[in-house]
A and B are shown apart, each in its own frame.
Chain A
Amino acid sequence: MKHKKIKNLLGSYLDGELHSTLRKAVEEHLRICPECSEELNFLRVLHKKIKEEKIPFPVDSYWDYFPKRVIERLREKKAKRFFSIKIPRIKWELAGGLILILLTFIVSKQILMEKGIKGVGETTRTVESFKITTEEGFSAKDEERMEAPPVAAGKTLIKVHEEEKGKKVIIEKGAIPSPAERKEIFKKVVPVSSVSKVPDIEQITVEKIEVIGGVNGLREKKTGEIIDVGFAGEAVQIMEKEKEELDILADINAKEDYLRTSKDKVKSKQVRRGLLRLLYVEASRTRKKGDIERALKEVETYCDSYPDDFRDTLIVFSDSLRIMMEEIIKESQTTEDKE
């Protein structure tokens, strides 16, 4: 095995994560390569020093009290929630008043600007709030429109404001009555073709956000980064709306061509999803080293770019491809030995 490859394996060798064949190869190489021996020595020193480096831990009394603080904080949060449930009517009325003032302002402004008003919705009961954060911002032209809160389909008030001009936009939704209702509302706010529970995940990537209706008419936003659904709660999976259209690009080359030329980030992400699947299937079919390496490289490069449902699939692909690769290496070694 080449020196460079062995050098890359030294960390895994030190961590005891190499299979016996590779471990032996590394050990043999270490006997003849002073550079790699020195590198391994450095890694040993680094690990040792880090293990020795003690972080300034708080005193014992801090640890004795820490669990109690957690429980106290939980009780505080419960009490807060209880308080908010006790006065929903006041909150509702307050919200209603504010909305009325806001709408009056917007309407008068619109009239002054001689613009028409299209569809004004109602608000829902406010229990808690959450945010949709997108990285791709509104254009400067939209600035004026952003001042007005659009009303999404599903009678849900959406407040939109610009946090950082042209870069980051927060679409704040003011009402989530219950997890079940939240899903229903969400379906109306964004085009959701499936909703599923993903425990212990607080955030999920959004591929498309579409806000329909509103005082300024139809609005459409594409590409979001994260939906924060609050506490490790239900995560909403946004599936591709234009999946059928994209499936026309059935082969690897067509998909690669599309990815080279397209500037549509959302579509590209979906096409790449299909490409990764195809590469995996192709590698499994041919079991050629080149195909497996190519699929593995692509899968691992883009693994972090997808929401959890597809990321899990990519992890399975990756593990499976690695096993495939090991099998092929073993097979070729056996053949060489026989020869």
Chain B
Amino acid sequence: MVDNNAGVTLDDSELVEKAKEGDQSAFELLVKKYQKGIYRLTYRMTNDHFTADELAMETFIRAYKAIKRFRKDANFFNWIYTIAVRLCLNHIKKEKRKVNIDPENVNTLVHGKKHDDELLQKVIAKETNIKIREAIQLLPEKLRVVFLLRVDEEQSYKEISKILRIPTGTVMSRLNRARERLKRSIGSYLMSGK
């Protein structure tokens, strides 16, 4: 779920209605409510703080500009995540930004030679987080975003399908493909270090 660190008592639809009327403080509360969730997604998608910050900021700016068109019966969480996801995917597409990881290095580290095992285990033990992050970054963005929405944001298949505007069957198949790829890249490492 999205972090709610603001102690917000009004629900989303009330805040949205106030923001529609031009109440900036209501919109600030919405930002507070969703900022960490959106940042987490943009960071996971780009693996860079400054880009994540910029994309998170742009997400809220676009939301504010378009809020008058937001339908009362719609789900604000889905809507704002849709904007964030599209911004991330566009950014990745436009910049062709690639994380500076060579898949070969990951494989070498994971499947290294026997005499390096001791050292390897030591490195691996310290770098679990990095390895997982790298493996996620190596996923194609369409698979990555589905996987992160499911595992990080704990969204149901139905919610993911609404956010990404894809059928639930596609959500399921993309998740399967993401898991298969992760298994190939860090499967043996994860299972040996569990």
Contact = CB atoms under 8 A, between A and B. Distances in A.
Interface of A: 8, 11-12, 15, 17, 42-43, 45-47, 49-51, 53-58, 63, 66-71, 73-74, 77, 197, 199-200, 202-203, 231-233, 296, 299-300, 303-304, 308, 311-312, 314-315, 318-319, 322
A42 B191 CA distance: 7
Interface stretch (B10-18, B105-113, B117-125, B175-183): B175-183
* Chain B contact patch, size range: 35 or more
B43 to A, nearest CB: 5
Contact of A45 (B40, B64, B156, B194): B194
Contacts of A66: 31-32, 35, 56-57
A126 to B, nearest CB: 20
Given A53-B133, A55-B40, A202 B176 contact: no
Contacts of A11: 172, 175-176, 179
Contacts of B31: 66-67, 70
Given A15-B150, A63-B35, 17 more contacts: A11-B172, A17-B156, A45-B194, A50-B136, A54-B129, A63-B36, A67-B28, A67-B35, A69-B57, A200-B66, A200-B70, A200-B83, A203-B86, A232-B66, A300-B173, A322-B168, A322-B169
Contacts of A322: 167-169
A77 B61 contact: yes
Contact of B49 (A56, A68, A71): A56
Contact of B28 (A53, A71, A314): A71
A50 B168 contact: no
Contact of B152 (A50, A77, A200, A312): A50
Contact of B165 (A70, A74, A308): A308
B170 A303 contact: yes
Interface of A (DSSP majority class) = helix
A200 B35 contact: no
Top 4 nearest A-B pairs by Cβ distance? A232-B66, A318-B167, A199-B69, A67-B31
Contacts of A308: 165
Nearest to A68: B28
B143 to A, nearest CB: 12
A318 B132 contact: no
A71 B19 CA distance: 12
Contact of B190 (A8, A15, A46, A73): A46
A318 B190 contact: no
B99 interface: no
Contacts of B72: none
A200 B69 contact: yes
A308 B86 CA distance: 13
Interface string B29-45: 10110011001100110
A129 to B, nearest CB: 17
Given A53-B128, A55-B44, A200-B83, A303 B167 contact: yes
A257 to B, nearest CB: 27
Contacts of B60: 70
8 contacts: A15-B157, A50-B136, A50-B151, A53-B132, A57-B36, A66-B35, A232-B63, A296-B169
B58 to A, nearest CB: 9
Contacts of B133: 53, 55
B115 interface: no
Contact of B64 (A54, A63, A70): A70
B165 A315 contact: yes
Nearest to B30: A67
A45 B165 contact: no
Contact of A199 (B5, B70, B150): B70
Nearest to A63: B35
